[in-house]
Structure 1
Amino acid sequence: MAQASSQVLPATIGDSEFDRDTAVTLREAGVYDAELSAGWTIIHAVNGGYLLALLGRALGDALPHPDPFTVSAHYLTPSVPGPAVIRTQVVRAGRTLSTGQASLFQYDESGAEVERIRVLASYGDLDALTDDVRTTAKPPAIPPLSHCIGATDAPDGSRPPIPGSSAITDRLMLKLDPTTLGWAVGAPSGKGEMRAWFGLADGRDADPFSLLLTVDALPPTSFELGLKGWTPTVELTTHIRCRPAPGPLRVSITTRNLAGGFLEEDAEVWDTADRLVAQSRQLARAPRG
């Protein structure tokens, strides 16, 4: 009698932990209920890219166009695992682009709503874009995936020393370029650079909504500047440039200026077809360590 195969098939778009944990439920016109999963926390709070994907889902349902083109988010207060409500508004519905805004609220001890994040976004149809590409951008130089280092690749099975919860790392396929990993062994390079191969741990391929997670899922560049601790995002703007090809992504993040207790992070995300599929810039508060 033939034995059943024990091989686990990769998750698919729409049937993944990421999809389940970013699902929203329509309560009434423009209002959605959500549950922030503890699986996407890092240090003390829910990851900002995960939150962006969650609001992206709500706006994707509320707007007449399917795909996020540009999403600008202001993070007002730290989000925590648990129930949330997302309130959306259609600002303009055009022929090729529609624009909307959304806010995510949670509840304080008295039951009052507290706004966590506010987003303004424009949506379109990525499949309707032209094939005309004129660019000087080049994919980041990252060693082959087999030569990069993940959270469990240390000989003793230990993880890089990230204080607090790092539950999100269990849901990611994250292999860091060794030249940007000095912080993990107590020898940060002093350069504001972080590069990695990226995917979801269950094998789900990337799509426009998971790209909203990708731009904010690597360790912060402040680690390589010799600073450890929470690096809370103040504002994050993401541009989705095209629908990504299947396979792992390459992510490059750089910081050129840390001043006055704040730093910027510029991210580029490239797919297996050597296309720049997403870009972002964020302003973050620097750790005090």
Structure 2
Amino acid sequence: MSDEISSEFDRDTAVRRVAPGEYAADLAKGWAFGDVLNGGYLLAVVGRALADALPHPDPFTVSAHYLAATGAGPAVVRTDVARAGFSLSTGSASLFQRDEDGTEVERIRVLATYGELDRLRDDVRTSARPPDMPPYEECVSTDENPDPSFSPELVHRLALRLDPTSVGWAVGSPSGKGEMRAWFALADGRDPDPLSLLLTVDALPPTAFDLGLKGWVPTVELTAHVRCRPAPGPLRVALTTRNMAGGYLEEDAEVWDSADRLVAQSRQLARVLE
């Protein structure tokens, strides 16, 4: 781990090794929705600890189960290496905090496989296409938020520009399609990398808003796949939900870089609290 802190994201996801496989973190309130920290931000914190614990540097697939809401403040990440191979290594990690009575509580449990993205073959065979959305300058900045009631701390850490077809929910006219599309960047100008992609897949307003629902939509489980190292510049993110039933919905994400490459994918199961 480097002592150089080059951006707000790097500072706020920093971890410090305090024992073999154990890391201390100070979770920052700036990445919260209300009092609860964003799941993608927390995944990046745990992902940084795993990048140090495992012999390979880059997340390939990361699956997280969110056991309890996580707030700002001190936390501990404990890791375990399950296998260290030549091209891939696999490990698990859990993030813990203490309750008001001092009891240690596990908040998140993660299983991940890491590798080296720069060693992957460059052949691509795909039917996937970047999202059809207007250019960056024609999309709606969150600085132009028409709904002042929706201004979580997280929004100020990001430079989001929403596809105009994805903002009807903010003026009381959701499309009902369960779609959300946006240009994504970090507000401090930091270029994307494999670790920040773990945040990107969970950083847009939830598709539940486009279904006409409001309020917190907590993640139950999230699996992210990082497919290649992103090129510098804003990312395009497309979220879709096809099915909401029994108070739960799935949310699929695709993240495309400035070179028109699919750099990350994810699926999560989320609970609708309305």
Contact 1:161 1:184 in 2 (8 A): no
SS in 1 for 2:100: coil
Is 1:220 matched up with 2:211?
A: no
Moved over 4 A (4+): none
Is 1:30 matched up with 2:21?
A: yes
Q: Percent of aligned positions with the same letter in both sequences? A: 69
* Distance (Å, rounded) in 2 between the aligned partners of 1:215 and 1:100: 21
Q: When the two structures are aligned, how many residues end up with a matched partner? A: 271
Q: How does 1:149-168 map to 2 (within 5 A)?
A: 149-153=140-144, 159-162=147-150, 166-168=152-154
| Structure 1: runs of 5 or more not aligned | 1-12
Alignment RMSD: 1.1
Which deviates the most, 199-208 or 38-47? 38-47
* TM-score normalised by length of structure 2: 0.97
* Distance (Å, rounded) in 1 between the aligned partners of 2:133 and 2:8: 28
Paired position in structure 1 for 2:272: 286
Is 1:108 matched up with 2:99?
A: yes
Paired position in structure 2 for 1:186: 172
* TM-score normalised by length of structure 1: 0.92
| Structure 2: runs of 5 or more not aligned | none
Paired position in structure 2 for 1:197: 183
The counterpart of 2:157, out of the listed 168, 171, 177, is: 171
* Distance (Å, rounded) in 2 between the aligned partners of 1:159 and 1:203: 25
Is 1:206 matched up with 2:192?
A: yes
Following TM superposition, by how much is the alpha carbon of 1:49 offset from its aligned partner in structure 2, in angstroms? Answer: 0.2
The counterpart of 1:135, out of the listed 126, 135, 140, is: 126
Larger radius of gyration, structure 1 or 2? 1
Is 1:252 matched up with 2:238?
A: yes
* Distance (Å, rounded) in 1 between the aligned partners of 2:222 and 2:91: 16
* Distance (Å, rounded) in 1 between the aligned partners of 2:236 and 2:116: 24
Following TM superposition, by how much is the alpha carbon of 1:182 offset from its aligned partner in structure 2, in angstroms? Answer: 0.5
SS in 2 for 1:263: strand
**Cα deviation 1:231-265 (Å, max 9, x = unaligned):** 00000000000000000000000000000000000
* Distance (Å, rounded) in 2 between the aligned partners of 1:185 and 1:197: 20
Following TM superposition, by how much is the alpha carbon of 1:211 offset from its aligned partner in structure 2, in angstroms? Answer: 0.2
